[in-house]
Amino acid sequence: MKRLLVFLKDYKKETVLAPLFKLLEAFFELMVPLVMAAIIDRGISGPDTPFIWEMGAVLLILGIVGLVSAVTAQFFAAKAAVGFATKLRQALFAHIHRFSFTNIDKNGTGVLITRMTSDINQVQNGVNMVLRLFLRSPIIVFGAMIMAFTIDVKSALIFVVAIPVLAVIVFGILLVSLPLYKKVQTKLEKVLGITRENLTGVRVIRAFHQEAEEEEHFQEENDALASLQMYVGKISACMNPVTYIVVNAALIALIYTGAVQVNVGNLTQGEVIAIINYMSQILVELIKLANLIITITKALASADRVAAVLEIQEGNPKDMDGKKGDTGILVHTTGQMCADREDVPTVKPDQQTYLVFDHVSLTYEGAGDKSLDNLHFSVNRGDTVGIIGGTGSGKSSLVNLIPGFYPATEGAIYLEGQNIAEIPEQELRARIGVVPQKAVLFKGTIRSNLQWGKEDATQEEMWQALEIAQAKEVVEGKEGMLDAEVTQGGKNLSGGQRQRLTIARALVKKPEILILDDSASALDYATDARLRQAIRGLGREMTTFIVSQRASSIRHADLIIVLEDGEVAGMGTHDRLLAGCEVYQEIYYSQYPDER
């Protein structure tokens, strides 16, 4: 929780004034039993009717001032709690956006959403309740005990016994329930994860008729959550009845002791009533304190979970250790040597060579084996590089290394002689345009989505990018054209339209390096061919990486990299690979059997 208190620094005034006004309310509340005792002993026993009216006016004033104090305290507490939660939520959102892909994969979307919503709401409630009641309740409890001592020491000794017993009960339940509430939040994350997975994959579930199985799986996890919530709820629910038992037992003892003291003349009836009122105040405050403890318990559990996310290291590790390897690009395939590319420059991390993979390997966190192993090649500025291979061969992993989405676990990648691990993330990403496998658009307009690539892009630049991406006719066919509405995720567009718009979004920024990660899979062959021709028409100013399952999409590339099980199985031009690389031959002839 200490990690999060920094977000209250802009609300120092509110965090001081809220408890102060609550203390003021508590002070006036402690005066009420004394006024009541005076009314009974002098006004009623007297009888003295004017005195009763006078004390009645005093009670009214105490009530009004207490109400104003309570409302003022609530205002400041709510302002501080809401402001705190707003700043915390914003900081957490910004922090998550700086996560590496490894951190996102490790934590999961469902977990991060829960921390952002449910957990922060719990912390907000905890801050609000602490500012309102954390000082008030103890002051009332101990203040009532002190006031009772000023009336009668013998009767007040009952308070000395009752309060420690109540404290043991309250904090004992706190110690038991705190770890259980953490488990409840973890179970809640699991249920939310299943819910998200089912909503995202609802079409697949229905296609394979797995509704019953998924419902059963959800019910199991939901029942486990409900069972744990009921268990911890029963423990927390014990607090009120047990405290009632202790306080009522103390009241019985007070009434008996008070009766004896009145009988012998040591106490007046009004003083006995005042002592009983103080015990009743203690009862009410302890019930409030019990509820406060439950809220604080939940808030502390949630605060630890939010703080755990904030403590995750941002971005990618910069301590990549790599060996400088031998030059050359000949690589082995199954049982044979694949053809080399004669015009590929010697692999050296210098400024003359644009991009160099220097013996790069990648192992995902938690994975046993390497996803990429010993990649060693170079790329000239303006080259078009095709990457092809079977499913799971590491194609996307390779291109995700270039923008630094994942850190290389061995070796290093050099861009114009500089290790990309040493290039500031913002500077590196500004030079690269990425079109991921899954075409994602955001709610807004076509214009606002294209401006993700370049915020100040002119209309001319947008139309030029749309034309290259073969999306011009798509936009022209929409009402409002560039200002046509795009729903969340681009659900009002077809798969091919989304892919072309995401390509245009990357092209708007005119990047040095363009990465097309299997981003034309939804396009027909003719549109795909026109797209590749338009990109080639940009000249040598942009280096392009094309990941594709289609041999036709990469056959005209300056360099084709063939991957198999994370290793380079072949490298060269289309003709050389077709002549000497078995893996490439297998892929190509499976798509063009007539050319065998």
Order of strands across the sheet that contains 432-435: 432-435, 513-517, 543-547, 384-389, 559-564, 567-572
Does the pLDDT of residue 544 top 80, yes or no? Answer: yes
Tell me how far apart the alpha carbons of residues 282 and 147 are, in angstroms, rounded to a whole number. Answer: 12
Q: Tell me the residue type at 511.
A: P
Give the Å distances, CA to CA, from 2 to 7, 8, 231, 350: 10, 11, 29, 47
Residues pairing with 414 in the sheet: 356, 419
pLDDT digits (tens, 9 = 90+) for 310-362: 887 765 544 333 333 333 333 333 333 354 444 444 445 555 578 888 888 88
Tell me how far apart the alpha carbons of residues 170 and 240 are, in angstroms, rounded to a whole number. Answer: 9
Give the Å distances, CA to CA, from 366 to 102, 106, 320: 10, 9, 18
How would you classify residue 451: left for phi > 0, otherwise alpha for psi between -120 and 50, otherwise beta? Answer: alpha
Per-residue tokens: 440: 């994602």
Does the pLDDT of residue 575 top 80, yes or no? Answer: yes
Of 238, 286, 247, residue with least CA distance to 138: 286
Q: Which residue has the higher pLDDT, 155 or 514?
A: 514
Number of H helices, E strands in the chain: 21, 14
Q: State the DSSP H helix or E strand holding residue 233, giving kind and residue range, or none if neither.
A: helix 211-237
Residue 75's pLDDT is: 92
pTM over 0.85: no
Does the pLDDT of residue 11 top 80, yes or no? Answer: yes
Say whether 416 sits in a helix, a strand or coil.
coil
pLDDT digits (tens, 9 = 90+) for 447-495: 888 888 778 888 888 888 888 888 888 888 888 888 888 888 778 888 8
What is the distance of C-alpha 476 from the center of its chain? 38
Per-residue tokens: 271: 């003083």
The DSSP annotation for 426-478 comes to HHHHHTEEEE-SS----SEEHHHHHTTT-TT--HHHHHHHHHHTT-HHHHHTS
Does the pLDDT of residue 381 top 80, yes or no? Answer: yes
User: Average model confidence (pLDDT) for the chain?
Assistant: 81
Per-residue tokens: 546: 């094309």
Say whether 383 sits in a helix, a strand or coil.
coil
CB 278 within 8 A of CB 271: no
> Looking at residues 127-148, what average pLDDT do you find?
83
What is the distance of C-alpha 309 from the center of its chain? 7
Residue 331's pLDDT is: 35
Please measure the distance between the N-terminal and C-terminal CA atoms of the chain and give it in whole angstroms.
68
> Looking at residues 405-419, what average pLDDT do you find?
86
Tell me how far apart the alpha carbons of residues 138 and 143 are, in angstroms, rounded to a whole number. Answer: 8
Residues whose CB is less than 8 angstroms from the CB of residue 175 and which lie 6 or more positions away in sequence, other chains included: none
> Looking at residues 244-249, what average pLDDT do you find?
82
> Looking at residues 146-158, what average pLDDT do you find?
81
pLDDT digits (tens, 9 = 90+) for 29-85: 888 888 888 888 777 876 778 888 888 898 899 889 888 988 999 999 999 989 888
Residues pairing with 383 in the sheet: none
Q: Tell me the residue type at 266.
A: N
Residue 322's pLDDT is: 35
Of 528, 546, 523, 125, residue with least CA distance to 299: 125
Q: Tell me the residue type at 66.
A: G
Q: State the DSSP H helix or E strand holding residue 374, giving kind and residue range, or none if neither.
A: strand 372-379
Residue 68's pLDDT is: 92
Q: To 5 degrees, how large is the angle CA 449–CA 450–CA 452?
A: 70
Residues pairing with 413 in the sheet: 357
Q: Which residue has the higher pLDDT, 298 or 522?
A: 298
pLDDT digits (tens, 9 = 90+) for 413-448: 888 888 888 888 888 888 888 888 888 888 888 888
Per-residue tokens: 61: 């004033």
CB 100 within 8 A of CB 403: no
Residue 352's pLDDT is: 59
Does the pLDDT of residue 160 top 50, yes or no? Answer: yes
Strands 559-564 and 543-547: unpaired
The DSSP annotation for 99-118 comes to B-HHHHHHH-HHHHHHIIII
CB 572 within 8 A of CB 585: no
Which region among 5-9, 107-111, 201-205, 225-229 has the lowest average model confidence (pLDDT)? 107-111
Q: To 5 degrees, how large is the angle CA 71–CA 75–CA 80?
A: 150
Percentage of the chain exceeding pLDDT 70: 91
Q: To 5 degrees, how large is the angle CA 104–CA 424–CA 366?
A: 30
Half-sphere exposure of 123 (CA within 13 A, CB side): 29
Residues pairing with 571 in the sheet: 561
Domains plus CATH for the chain? 2-310 (1.20.1560.10), 324-430+542-596 (3.40.50.300), 432-510 (3.40.50.300)
Half-sphere exposure of 216 (CA within 13 A, CB side): 4
> Looking at residues 163-179, what average pLDDT do you find?
79
Q: Which residue has the higher pLDDT, 108 or 250?
A: 250
The DSSP annotation for 540-581 comes to GGSEEEEE-S-HHHHTT-SEEEEEETTEEEEEE-HHHHHHH-
Q: State the DSSP H helix or E strand holding residue 55, giving kind and residue range, or none if neither.
A: helix 49-97
What is the distance of C-alpha 176 from the center of its chain? 28
Tell me how far apart the alpha carbons of residues 401 and 406 are, in angstroms, rounded to a whole number. Answer: 5
